[in-house]
């Protein structure tokens, strides 16, 4: 077997047969970080670095581990080509990490370049990519088409005017790209930038937000506006998923204190966040949306990165001790049987707690695929095998790329579909289910289930 060939991640004939049955299905990608503006402009990438690395902190993290200087990663001085050459010279040291596979898959499947990335091949890859990216079929919208993306959801702020989503309705991607309602900035009452954000959110909706009722009036308007553009889910990034039941009066006081510029403490934040998540869940329940929680990210722990580059640059991780069960139970019970919920975890240690939680709460509460640093072959395989044994595979939410790179959607879903085929063929091989049943489950997780859950 050779690197990334047709048998990639498929150890036997049954695995290959399962994969062949699902590889052609359209992609449904219910959560990613698409640059919708760039997509709506349908512009092309100029080179490999811009397409693959300029916006991807996974690449920066891996190259930092190889000792590549920050100037050649996020620096403003170095050219894309200089950065690419440093990348290529070091990339073999990244082998074993999924970033190594994803990028080679992009190169092979999307760009048709079958070379291993290293110093020797660097110039050839650079120039072949430049030529390839200049082709018309490599515009961003054409890439989405070529990857057979039937539906995808970006991640958007309630203050967003969504004009690029509107523009896409007049493009070849009509009815393909939907926003997701992600009001984290409004929820994160402890952050220094919160007050300014609330101001700007008010302005966006031509009002001022002085009370908690006004906040949820505005969020309700935004929710309706998002719905008009096909939004079908909210999404919330949390470390501990505080979602307890507090009376509005208590949350109101915290809100007033924060708006007055007073310091809010940890308890205040727990109160406000809990109230906030419950209110958004109520909106979602009324509209039949999916309420997604991304649980367990501890952000910006590396001060040197945060101070020079800001958030989302590789300073995030997760902790094993994160409390999940106690804080989230009140919300799950309050909305029991009337809200679709998907729970994603970042630390594989929490696979058991989450799979058992989604098992207990029945049909409407689903386990999301292994998230972030967990969505490698090994991370997904271990999660799928375990989740199948506790919860039901058939009730899981399906794959989301979570990617910031358009070029990567196809590769991410390919790795998932191959991993799923691998896991199911393992079960067939051990006599745990028939091949016919495995084929049905494969199709369900790859396509039918996200279609049903998100209403694509």
**Window 211 to 270, contacts with a copy of itself (CB under 8 A):** none
Using the rule CB under 8 A, give the single segment among 47-55, 177-185, 287-295, 308-316 that binds a copy of itself: 308-316
Q: 3-class secondary structure for 288-337? A: CCEEEEEECCECCCCHHHHHHHCCCCCCCECCCCCCCHHHHHHHHHHCCC
Contact between 378 and a copy of itself (CB under 8 A)? yes
Nearest-approach distance from CB 89 to a copy of itself, in angstroms:
13
Do residues 53 and 107 lie in contact, with contact meaning Cβ atoms separated by under 8 Å? Answer: no
In degrees, to the nearest 5, what angle opens at C-alpha 363 toward C-alphas 384 and 227? Answer: 100
Q: How far is the CB of 11 from a copy of itself (least distance, A)?
A: 7
Judged by CB under 8 A, the chain residues 342 through 361 that form the site for a copy of itself are 347-350, 352-353, 356-357, 359-361
- Spatial CB neighbours of 319, under 8 Å, sequence gap ≥ 6: 239, 296, 298, 347
115 binds a copy of itself (CB under 8 A): no
Closer Cβ to a copy of itself, 158 or 314, answer by number: 314
**Residue appearing with tokens 């001060």:** 303
Shortest distance in whole angstroms from residue 49 CB to a copy of itself: 20
40/90 with CB nearer a copy of itself: 90
Q: Measured from the CB of residue 336, what is the shortest distance to a copy of itself in angstroms? A: 5
Site for a copy of itself in 412-431 (CB under 8 A): 424, 427-431
Q: Which of 34, 318, 343, 369 binds a copy of itself (CB under 8 A)?
A: 318
Of 125-184, binders to a copy of itself (CB under 8 A) are: none
Count of Cβ atoms closer than 10 Å to residue 377 Cβ:
16
Give the residue, chosen from 144, 393, 400, 442, that forms a contact with a copy of itself under the rule CB under 8 A. 393
Beta carbons of 447 and 23 less than 8 angstroms apart: no
Based on the shown chain and the rule CB under 8 A, indicate whether residue 4 belongs to the binding site for a copy of itself. Answer: yes
Name the residue nearer to a copy of itself (CB basis): 120 or 163.
Answer: 120
| C-alpha distance across the termini of the chain, in Å | 37
Secondary structure tally for the chain: helices H, strands E: 21, 7
* Least distance between a copy of itself and beta carbon 211 (Å): 31
Nearer to a copy of itself, 16 or 81 (CB): 16
Contact predicate 318/347, CB 8 Å: yes
Locate 326 and state its tokens: 């106690």
Identify which range of 19-27, 124-132, 277-285, 328-336 contacts a copy of itself by CB under 8 A: 328-336
Smallest distance, a copy of itself to C-beta of residue 382, A? 8
Residue linked to tokens 């007049």: 170
Pairing of strands 290-295, 27-29: unpaired
Chosen residue from 16, 33, 64, 191 binding a copy of itself by CB under 8 A: 64
Q: Of the candidates 360, 341, 339, 337, which has an alpha carbon nearest to the alpha carbon of residue 293?
A: 341
């Amino acid at each position: 077997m050779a690197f990334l060939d047709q048998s990639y991640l498929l150890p036997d004939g049954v695995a290959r047969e399962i994969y062949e049955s699902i590889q052609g299905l359209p992609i449904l990608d219910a959560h990613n970080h698409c640059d919708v503006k760039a997509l709506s402009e349908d512009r092309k990438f100029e080179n490999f670095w811009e397409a693959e690395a300029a916006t991807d902190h996974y690449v920066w993290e891996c190259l930092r581990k190889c000792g590549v200087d920050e100037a050649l990663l996020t620096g403003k001085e170095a050219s894309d080509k200089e950065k690419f050459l440093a990348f290529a010279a070091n990339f073999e040291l990244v082998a074993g990490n999924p970033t190594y596979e994803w990028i080679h898959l992009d190169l092979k499947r999307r760009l048709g370049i079958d070379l291993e990335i290293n110093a020797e091949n660097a110039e050839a890859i650079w120039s072949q990519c430049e030529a390839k990216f200049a082709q018309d079929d490599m515009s961003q919208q054409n890439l989405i088409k070529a990857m057979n993306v039937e539906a995808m959801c970006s991640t958007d702020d309630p203050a967003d005017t969504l004009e690029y989503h509107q523009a896409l309705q007049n493009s070849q991607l009509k009815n393909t790209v939907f926003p997701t309602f992600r009001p984290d900035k409004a929820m994160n009452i402890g952050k220094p930038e919160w007050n300014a954000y609330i101001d700007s959110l008010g302005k966006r909706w031509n009002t001022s937000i002085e009370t908690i009722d006004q906040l949820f009036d505005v969020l309700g308007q935004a929710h309706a506006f998002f719905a008009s553009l096909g939004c079908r889910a909210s999404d919330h990034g949390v470390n501990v998923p505080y979602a307890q039941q507090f009376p509005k009066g208590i949350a109101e006081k915290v809100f007033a204190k924060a708006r007055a510029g007073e310091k809010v403490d940890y308890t205040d934040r727990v109160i406000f966040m809990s109230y906030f998540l419950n209110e958004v869940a109520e909106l979602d329940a009324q509209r039949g949306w999916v309420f997604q929680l991304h649980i367990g990210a501890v952000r910006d722990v590396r001060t040197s990165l945060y101070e020079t580059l800001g958030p989302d640059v590789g300073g995030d991780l997760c902790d094993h001790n994160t409390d999940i069960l106690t804080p989230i139970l009140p919300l799950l019970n309050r909305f029991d049987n009337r809200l679709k919920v998907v729970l994603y975890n970042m630390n594989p240690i929490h696979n058991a707690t989450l799979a058992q939680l989604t098992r207990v709460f029945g049909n409407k509460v689903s386990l999301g695929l292994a998230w972030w640093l967990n969505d490698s072959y090994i991370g997904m395989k271990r999660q799928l095998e375990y989740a199948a044994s506790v919860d039901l595979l058939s009730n899981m939410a399906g794959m989301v790329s979570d990617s910031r790179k358009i070029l990567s959607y196809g590769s991410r879903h390919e790795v998932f579909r191959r991993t799923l085929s691998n896991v199911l063929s393992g079960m067939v091989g051990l006599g745990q289910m028939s091949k016919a049943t495995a084929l049905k489950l494969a199709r369900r997780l790859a396509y039918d289930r996200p279609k049903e859950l998100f209403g694509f």
